[in-house]
Chain A
Amino acid sequence: MDFTLIVALVIALALIFDFTNGFHDTANAMATPIATGAMKPKVAVGVAAVLNLVGAFLSTEVAKTVSGGIIKEGDGGIQISPEMIFAGLIGAIVWNLITWLRGLPSSSSHALFGGLIGATIIGVGAQAVAFDVVLAKVILPALIAPITVGIVAYLATRLAYAITRRDAGKPDGRGGFRYAQIFSSSLVALSHGTNDAQKTMGVITLTLIAGGYQAVGSGPQFWVVACCALAIAIGTYTGGWRIILTMGRGLTEIKPAQGFAAETSTAATILASSHLGFALSTTQVASGSVIGSGLGRRGSTVRWGMAGQIALGWLLTLPASAIMGAFAAGLALLGPIGIVLDVVIGTAVVYVLFQWSKRDRISHDNLHDIDDAGHVVKIKKTPRKPSRKDRQKVAL
């Protein structure tokens, strides 16, 4: 196959992956403000999209390696070929769509790592995968990050309620947390833009360098940055409403004080970890803090069944996308015909998943009328649409 064509395919797939990354992760920032009514759903995803776009331009410090050390690449290691990146991206995109269909928040970067690992095992062999790095960078953080941030969010929620607690009947002004939620969730969205778009920029830039279209060691070109920023912003604006539903209402019922505490813990943890070079998955941090804040408010319940489903999704992310990446890589080894088969099968799978999703459409306009988040949890029926009179008497 013509090298140019495979490079073009990788770029196209990387942008599609970036798009799925965006709509998968809208929920991390915007699920809680949507759930508490701090922002209207459309406004919330719009804000998140703009901040992701801005964030992508703010930080163009792209990764030096595609896999962040998980695959022994570079000096003394292997060269990850465009075909392997192509196969890995197919695995990651399909897994992102499957988890989206199930309404499960799962890490897009883990899906990408999984796809690349699978493709590498088939394309080069298992010795090219640094399994100790996989353990230290993917598996252990996935276990400890949600628990740690859960504790942080739990304590923050307790603090928020303790400080604003007043005698029964006296107004406590906790509705004021809605304003704060706008800022805390925006901070999460901005940091997401600076982190996640860089991954795709890295993939495209390294592919261009490998193809000899760009000087070795040079940064991403402007059109790459612009395309990645746009792809993630459009993805974010499209909104993974199923995942927003799971995060905002499926795990626990969120009140403004909880939402603020959860988002602040998420933002603080992500900022601290990325500033100190200790990468954590935004999705896992955000889910952990929602659960923590659910535990922190008296009288609220956490739906552990849902939490278990999400945790299972995290466990499956790496092996599942690895299997799909391996399958795609196996086909790609057949040569041009394999690549064509990959594209055809990948498109067919994506088409089927989208058709499947139409059976129970979830979007910004029916978000609050849905009783059943991801077909697993029962949620209290939405009360009748309140009249203007009722609105003034709402419990805040």
Chain B
Amino acid sequence: MIDWAAFLVVAAAALVSSAVVVSLYSLGLRLLTTAGRIPTVEPAEFTGAITVLSPARAAKDAKRARKALKANPLTDIQKSVAQYGGYLCFALCGLIVLYGVYLIVPALHQ
């Protein structure tokens, strides 16, 4: 029969590791955004799943975004703490991904 113990370990390990990776990366994005360095990544290609806004609506959004940025209550030091905190999150994420590569390649751990 199915090995339920092994299955539970797999489920728990998957849950914890993906939660940690996703949280770290999201936190990194959040910190960068807080620091006023909003990461904008243009889609490489416009797909059906991406909605293109009308120019008027987009201009309105951009204006609100600028206004919100100007009202950033953080001091410069706080901003750079947030920024480097964000980079730290990304670095930790990268390390976990490298550990994933280490697990994939048997030559590295046998």
Which of A's residues lie within 8 Å of B, judged by CB? 34-41, 43, 55, 58-59, 61, 132, 135-136, 140-141, 144, 148-149, 151-153, 155-157, 159-160, 163-164, 166-167, 169-180, 183-184, 187, 190-191, 194, 248-249, 253-257, 260-261, 264-265, 267-269, 271-273, 275-278, 280, 367-369, 379-386, 389-391, 393-396
Per the CB 8 Å criterion, the residue count for chain B at the interface is 59
Shortest Cβ distance from B23 into A: residue: A159
B73 at the interface (CB under 8 A from A): no
CA distance A265 to B93 in the complex (A): 14
CA distance A391 to B40 in the complex (A): 12
Which applies to chain B's interface (DSSP): helix, strand, loop or mixed?
helix
Q: Mark B76-99, 1 if CB is under 8 A from A, else 0.
A: 000000000000000001100100
- Nearest CB on A from B21, distance (A): 5
Which of B's residues lie within 8 Å of A, judged by CB? 1-3, 6-7, 9-11, 13-15, 17-19, 21-23, 25-27, 29-30, 32-33, 38-53, 55, 58-59, 61-62, 64-65, 68-69, 93-94, 97, 100-101, 103-107
CA distance A285 to B54 in the complex (A): 37
Shortest Cβ distance from A390 into B: residue: B52
Q: Please indicate the chain A residues that have their CB under 8 angstroms from the CB of B94 in the complex.
A: 183
Whether B58 lies near A395 (C-beta < 8 A) is: yes
CA distance A59 to B23 in the complex (A): 31
Q: Please indicate the chain A residues that have their CB under 8 angstroms from the CB of B25 in the complex.
A: 160, 177, 180, 260
Q: Please indicate the chain B residues that have their CB under 8 angstroms from the CB of A264 in the complex.
A: 18, 21-22
CA distance A381 to B93 in the complex (A): 36
User: A40-B44, A380-B48 known; 17 other A-B pairs, CB under 8 Å?
Assistant: A37-B47, A152-B19, A160-B22, A170-B64, A173-B40, A187-B101, A260-B22, A271-B100, A277-B6, A369-B48, A382-B47, A383-B48, A383-B51, A394-B42, A394-B58, A395-B58, A396-B42
CA distance A272 to B10 in the complex (A): 5
CA distance A190 to B32 in the complex (A): 30
CA distance A271 to B9 in the complex (A): 12
